[in-house]
Amino acid sequence: MVDLDVVVVGAGFSGIYAVHAFRSAGLTVKAFEAGDGIGGTWFWNSYPGARCDVESKDYSYAFSPELEQEWSWSERYPAQPEILRYLSHVAGKFGLWPHIQLNTRVTGASWDAATASWAVTTSDGATVTARYFVSAAGCLSEFQVPDLPGLDSFEGPWYHTARWPKDGVDFAGKRVGLVGTGSTGIQVAPEIAAVADHLYVFQRTANFAVPNRNRPWEEAEERAFKSRYREYRAEARESFLGVPITGTGRPVLSEPPDDVQRLFTERWRAGGGMPFLGAYTDVLVSQEANDVVAEFMRDRIRETVDDPAVAELLCPRGYPVGSKRLCQSDDYYAMFNRPNVSLVDIRSTPVESVYPGGVKTSADSYELDSLVFATGFDALTGALFAMDIRGAGGVPLRSAWAAGAQAYLGVAAAGFPNMFIITGPGSPSVFSNMVLSIEQHVEWVRDCVVWLRSRGHATIEATAAAQAEWMEHVSEVANSTLFPRADSWYVGANIPGKPRVFTSYLAGCGPYRARCDAVAAAGYEGFALGGP
């Protein structure tokens, strides 16, 4: 006797919607969440300045027109507390709380061929069995602290932005060191600088940031927008990034340079990363075109930052703009004009150690009261590998993916029957508006399970051949772009020893959805189906 139809790992955007979708299809489901609240990313990353850089009208569920109409976002880009309130509202509205068990980590899951089910073990010592095992454990949930010699000896407190204390941190009068200048570092830095005695930003890699131009979402604007929400969502589903944006449809290199500067200036003033990079067709495929954008952005840094030497250090070089996650901020660069902020170049003078009173680089020592790490995540595979997942024949997922993550359509792995990964490696996931990609995956998996039941199939498993072909296609598409050229978390470069594989699908959300739908329509082509 199997306990449940579906076990879901995690209760972020993916897990919450998975519980609702499976329940609505008449399936029994339970989600286990390690945290003591739901929300995933937006539960854990409660550092000051945490904000989504996809607009709220896009970064929200599309599955319920009623929800869409009744919920009001206060700002163009929602801040972390508001997204968390939204997710609580969703869980309450759709009666999901009883099906989510908090404070419970899934420690392992093993496939049992005899019963065609998964045995899922949890941190409370329990085991539950389920027909289907669905990981909604998050692409960016397993956080990373750099291995700095002497960190243990540091006398002050240190924090990682992905485990921010719920009561907040008071930096008033403190000398703070910030390590990490990606999307999160760029968000948290101005907030710390506003209160700290001094902020030292330890920069290894300068990053490109586009302004947000965040502002309140006016009532009239919201009303007008909501009257055509359905049409808008339909456009989003067919779009490249999961957000409808209007580009010129032409390459930068075919345009008169003055027109290019004018359009980039317009988009810079309007704010937002997606419309900016999406202005022309060749920015992410031609180095020459990319150089034009990169120089435009470096000029904006130079005109914002007063000290020319600091400005030059902040100018990103050595990788194409967009090939590392494009950051968004209205105040990061200008923050360096404050007298209480220093930029420390740890590319040319690396951190050697942490000592009880601060940080020592190869050039100097910095006396610090607190340290903040905004050093990101073991992306895509980290949360999966943190569980002991064993598929057919007891093979661990870690071994199956030793040379790099492999999943057919980015949703199911060969050797792991009846297991699905929401926004897994090989899907658009982190290259898209993730809420849209999450909904697409959850709905596809739900429809698949319903179909299997209606046909009396007990098992489904991606074939090794379909998976290999898909991953080859994924890397072929990636290799036709500039993305693989950067040492980014997209390729696992931030994790020592991780195989360098580009595992996101870059052909666009619309075409990807079409492919997934075609696979389903063909009776789940590329999957082996088992009998009752």
What would the x/- binding string for ligand FAD be over residues 57 to 76, using CB under 6 A?
Answer: --x-----------------
The footprint of ligand FAD on residues 407-446 (CB under 6 A) is: 422-423, 433-434, 438
| Nearest-angstrom CA–CA distance, 320 and 486 | 7
Beta-carbon-side half-sphere exposure of residue 495 (alpha carbons within 13 Å): 20
**Smallest separation, CB 248 to ligand FAD (Å):** 24
Does residue 141 touch ligand FAD according to CB under 6 A?
yes
What is the number of other CB atoms lying within 10 angstroms of the CB of residue 306? 9
Joined tokens for residue 235: 């456009």
Beta-carbon-side half-sphere exposure of residue 237 (alpha carbons within 13 Å): 17
What would the x/- binding string for ligand FAD be over residues 376 to 405, using CB under 6 A?
Answer: -------x--xx------------------
Beta strand extents in 259-357 (DSSP E only): 327-328, 341-345, 351-355
| Nearest-angstrom CA–CA distance, 257 and 480 | 25
**Smallest separation, CB 177 to ligand FAD (Å):** 20
Task: Decide whether 35 or 48 has the Cβ nearer to ligand FAD.
Answer: 35
Does residue 212 touch ligand FAD according to CB under 6 A?
no
Task: Decide whether 177 or 428 has the Cβ nearer to ligand FAD.
Answer: 428
The footprint of ligand FAD on residues 239-268 (CB under 6 A) is: none
Q: What contacts 112, CB < 8 A, 6 or more positions away?
A: 118, 119, 129
**Smallest separation, CB 457 to ligand FAD (Å):** 27
Does residue 210 touch ligand FAD according to CB under 6 A?
no
Q: What contacts 138, CB < 8 A, 6 or more positions away?
A: 10, 12, 14, 40, 41, 383
The footprint of ligand FAD on residues 272-291 (CB under 6 A) is: none
Binding segment toward ligand FAD, per CB under 6 A, in 139-147, 253-261, 356-364, 442-450: 139-147
**Smallest separation, CB 141 to ligand FAD (Å):** 4
Does residue 35 touch ligand FAD according to CB under 6 A?
yes
Joined tokens for residue 186: 């760029």
| Nearest-angstrom CA–CA distance, 218 and 305 | 32
Q: Are strands 370-373 and 198-203 parallel, antiparallel or unpaired?
A: unpaired
Number of residues near ligand FAD (by CB under 6 A): 37
| Nearest-angstrom CA–CA distance, 313 and 302 | 10
Residues in touch with ligand FAD (CB under 6 A): 9-15, 32-35, 40-41, 43, 45, 50, 52-54, 59, 105-106, 136-141, 184, 383, 386-387, 422-423, 433-434, 438
